Amino acid sequence: MSEGLKQKFVKLSSVEFLNFDPFAVQFDPLSYSRGRSHFQSAFRFVLNSSKRQALEDFYAFCRIADDLADQDGLEVQERINRLEALRSWVLEPEGRPHPFWNRLRAARVEFQIPDRCLTGLLDALLSELERLERVCLFESWTELEAYIQGVACDVGEVVLCILGKKQTDCRLYAKNMGQCAQLLNILRDLEEDFDKARIFVPNDCLKAHAISLENFLSSDLSPIREELYQRAQTAFKNSRDLRCRSWVAELMISFYRSAAKKHWRYGDSRRLSRGSKALIALRSLLPFHRSL
């Protein structure tokens, strides 16, 4: 891909992205996804270039899938069709003349990434689209946790596969860390999601705090923010005694937890500065320094 064409795709807006097939040879998933997450900041600390490339490629896959599901300007059925196309690739990854998809296919084999983790993500996004007639997408915490399993816990398990973690409790570790990350993500985007006519906080939680859809934005949301924050903290603490622990994975979560503690739990969705991330990286390193 020429540098000029690469720059064109770096600047694609969400609306322009809709006109492109993610499998088209002129579309560059890495350029599209680069620099859009706290998680990507942790990738640079992965010294093994093969693992770092696989993490970047997997993040691009997740970013494309999430953006396809989130495009309100695209008909729901078209979003479903495009996600189903990604799902078909997961199950039958042959025959895509594109360096990105061929490289990701090879990474799936090299790092023994289970198909169920990739389909789990896509199935969760498809289930979200099936709920779009509701503003409040989930009735209970149980329903939300099932969704989080796909969009975060299965994603976390793939990250651990790429990092080479083989302990028997890796799935439980991924579940706890994924729940922590996704609950904080919901906390950060509370008002932004409502502006898109969707609420990820379960209806049971809204009722418990006497908040209705009609008075959502005019209500005091601090009790909901605090409940999301504390549930995320509990999930994180549940991972502390497990043998499967990863500095890179915990660094990703540390960025989220720090931003949530300083800003998001108070209704401020700002992200961390580069200096703050550097300090967090150093602090996160200490428990792992003997194994590095």
Query: CB neighbours of 4 closer than 8 A, spacing ≥ 6?
Result: none
Specify the higher pLDDT residue, 180 or 7: 180
Q: Which long-range contacts (CB under 8 A, 24 or more apart) does 32-39 make?
A: 32/60, 32/63, 32/64, 33/59, 33/60, 33/63, 33/64, 34/10, 36/63, 37/63, 38/252, 38/255, 38/256, 38/259, 38/271, 38/272, 38/277, 39/252, 39/255
**pLDDT tens, residue by residue, 98-141:** 899 999 999 999 999 999 999 999 999 999 999 988 889 999 99
For the cut 60, the answer to whether the pLDDT of residue 172 exceeds it is yes
pLDDT of 35 reads 63
pLDDT of 281 reads 60
pTM for the full model? 0.85
**pLDDT tens, residue by residue, 251-270:** 888 888 988 999 999 988 88
**pLDDT tens, residue by residue, 48-61:** 889 999 999 999 99
Domain ranges across the chain: 27-34+48-113, 131-244
pLDDT of 250 reads 84
The type of residue at 171 is R
Q: Report domain 131-244's class.
A: mainly alpha
